[in-house]
Amino acid sequence: MSGLIYHLFTCSALMSLGLYHLICTTRNHLKAPRDYVTKPYHPFTFQTQQFTKHIQLYLIIICLLIAFFHQTAISFDSDPLVKGRSPVHHFMSLQSAGVLFLFLTLSVALLLSETTNLLPFPPDLFFGTASALFFLQYSVTSSSASLQTSVLEAKCDSVSATIAALSAVLCIILACHPRLFVADVGLGASICLQGLWSLQTGLSLHVDAFIPDGCHKLLDVVSGVEGSTRCELDDSKLRATAILDLVFVVYVLFVILILIVTYAVTAKVVGVRRFGTYEALPTSSGAGADTNHIQMKAMTGTQA
C-alpha cells in the first residue's frame, strides 16, 4: 500500500510541475515571440511577497526531500527470500536516493540564485546540469531494469529510463539554444509523461486489478522490493509487456492532448489572435485625399 501511495504522490508532483511549466512557457511565448528565452523557473508574478513568489521552488524541495527519505528508508527493507547476502533492491534504492539528492541540490542552488546574490546561476548552466542529472537517472534506471527479476518491474523501469533520456536531450538542447520554444514545451510534456508513467507503475505493481493475467504478487515478499511481482509463463510475460507498451502509447497521446489544450486555453486567456490573419493598412481619406487631388490637377495644368 505504501508503494502505491508513493507513486500517487510522485505522479501528482510531476504532473503539477509539468503543467505549470507548460502554461508559463506558452504564456511567455505568446506574449513576446521574438523576445522569448527559456527560463529554469517561472515565479508567481501576481505575488509580491518573497516567500509566496517562490513557493513552487519550496514545494519542489519538500517533494524531493520526501522522495529522498522514502527511497533511503525502503533500501533497508528486508527480503525474506534472500538469506545471507544483501538483496539487489538495497543498492537500487540507494542509487535512486542519490539521484534524488542531486536534484535536491540543484533545486536549492536555483532557490539561492533566485532569492539571494550568493550564487548567480545562469540558465544555460542550470539546463546543462539538469541534463547531466537526467542522464544519470536514465543510467541508474536502465541498470535497475536489467537487474530486475520481475518482467513487469523491468518493463516499467525501462520506459521510465527512456523518458529520463528524452528529458536529458531536451535540457541540453535548451542549454545550447535557449530560444527554442519547441524544446521547452517538450520538456514540460516529458515531465508530465514521467508523472503519468509513475502512476501506471504503481498500478501495475501494487493493485491486483491492474496486474495482467498470468502475473501475480508474491505474498511472502515485502511489497515494493525487486521480484515481488512475477509472470511465470513466457506467454504471460509477452502479453504483460505488450499491454504496457500499449498503455505507454495511450499516455503519449494523452500528453499530446494536454499540450494542445494547454496551448489553446493559454492563447485564449492571453488574447492572442490566430496566426495568419492580417489587418488592412489605414488608407488616407478626408482632407488629405482632397489635397492630393488638388495637387495632381495643378501639375496637369502646368504641363499643358
Using one digit for the tens of pLDDT, what is the confidence trace for 106-152?
A: 999 999 988 888 888 888 999 999 999 999 999 999 988 777 767 88
Top pLDDT among 295 and 170 is at 170
Cα–Cα distance between 70 and 57 in angstroms, integer? Answer: 20
**Taking 70 as the threshold, does the pLDDT of residue 222 lie above it?**
no
- Closest by CA to 15, choosing from 270, 269, 254, 263, is 254
The pLDDT > 70 percentage for the chain reads 78
Report the range of poorest mean pLDDT among 73-82, 128-137, 246-255.
73-82
Residue 257 backbone class (left: φ over 0; alpha: ψ -120 to 50; beta: rest): alpha
Let me know if 13 is exposed, middle or buried by CB neighbors in 10 A (0-12, 13-18, 19+): buried
Top pLDDT among 61 and 83 is at 61
The number of domains in the chain is: 1
Bridge partners for 216 per DSSP: 230
The pLDDT > 90 percentage for the chain reads 44
**Taking 80 as the threshold, does the pLDDT of residue 44 lie above it?**
no
Top pLDDT among 45 and 304 is at 45
Of the ranges 23-27, 116-120, 140-144, 278-282, which is most confident?
23-27
The length of the chain, given as a count of residues:
304
Instruction: Give ∠ CA 188-190-73 in degrees, rounded to 5.
Output: 105
- Closest by CA to 71, choosing from 101, 29, 37, is 101
* Average predicted confidence (pLDDT) for the chain: 81
Structural domain boundaries, residue 193: 2-303
CB 214 within 8 A of CB 231: yes
